[in-house]
Chain A
């Protein structure tokens, strides 16, 4: 007897490989992804990559320019700051703080935002109305200004800066999740899943969530770059990370006074922020194109 083989079709690429095929075509996005990966690796292996401790002061080498200029020395590749700290080490260790804090902020904002968004999308009436209006109020205030106000109220310092930026990011998640859920809920396949007897929870996890994932992923990358910039800005204004923490925004603000004397101390952390945000945005653009449902044949 011939055994009936079930599932013997040539393997059909899953969602991820389909996505990857499209993503690869987007040159800028691939560059963004590569750079971002390098930066993340840099953050992960800072102790190995950085030549010195970020707070170690070389009192004989104050404000040394980078190695490629005439007065530079190779021991301090990117030069030193006004206290004689090695700038390369500070920037490398700073990536830990900047990326790590942004990631933490995005995780907090995503979890709370998706929960509230799902609540608003699935519930009707008072609850939905209440959530949406609160989010509208938050959205009505410019994001950085709001973060500053929140920090001003609850006091400066890293933990408070994290809360502030997370609160600023939440409304975007709520809106996008709620809108996507509303859109999906109206579609026949959700009704069909309901008729299959799926419980509301199963409906959300099995039918709705996979379909709102693409816009959510795109939103996460956007939020990540916003978080990075906002945290740096708060650090710069002295309301986030406090010196001697080598957070990029904080390094910037401390070096600001010496912009004439030692321009590299400002330029290099500034470039670090620029490159990171740029690569995240490029990556996000590629994601959006590759995940766009309209592109599906």
Chain B
């Protein structure tokens, strides 16, 4: 946990061109990831998978703020993803709003839930924090499950159609997969930019200070509890946006978007990609979903293969894929 690979200071290795490239990527990380994602659908087998990676990359990115940068393990992030999805879905299906207010409502809904959950959970630490967030997320799950008039309950919320989107100068339909990808792309790039700004701000530095030594951060005069709560809520907002986009992507909101299994996936993606690194969550989401996609079409015994691959990563590459790449570059 002590190494913070994305800081320039640690990358100043001379005489290594690769390190130079990595350094320039690190310096322009928003630009780099935007450029990569711009070309991304071209190297993917199909657009829906690219959209999935985009959405789950954003989800893991938001989760990573709390997990990787602040060092607090939450098992309740599915609640933010799910509420983002449901709020957007309900805005479109029941309230008849158009896509932009629906997305904003999704993000806001996730924010409100994060405020409440954070307020209740933030005083506990370590495994207790994980358990409290898990329990609260399960409460959200059952609440939504029971409100079947609004949410569709077991059947999920269907009919979430944004359909034709008219920007005044440009019209497109989300049924077209390429248009859908670039529609999502715009939101994700804005989110990544904001995320980078947050990390680079003094606030971001305090987060890492809390991760390294909470008592010292407190002794320095920072309000640790409040900072943790802010981070939790901000993280919830990003995950809410991911959920909101997912509702538009699938045109349904399945009940499992609130399931704790999804919270586990966020942990897995962050670990696989490299927690506490900027690109890690996207790399993790890509590796996870791509592997899953390829292996499930080849064999019905896919959990066996995926499990083995995860174990290899946890045992031999504890820094995750991107974390390990950074580590090798530095040597």
Chain A partners chain B: no
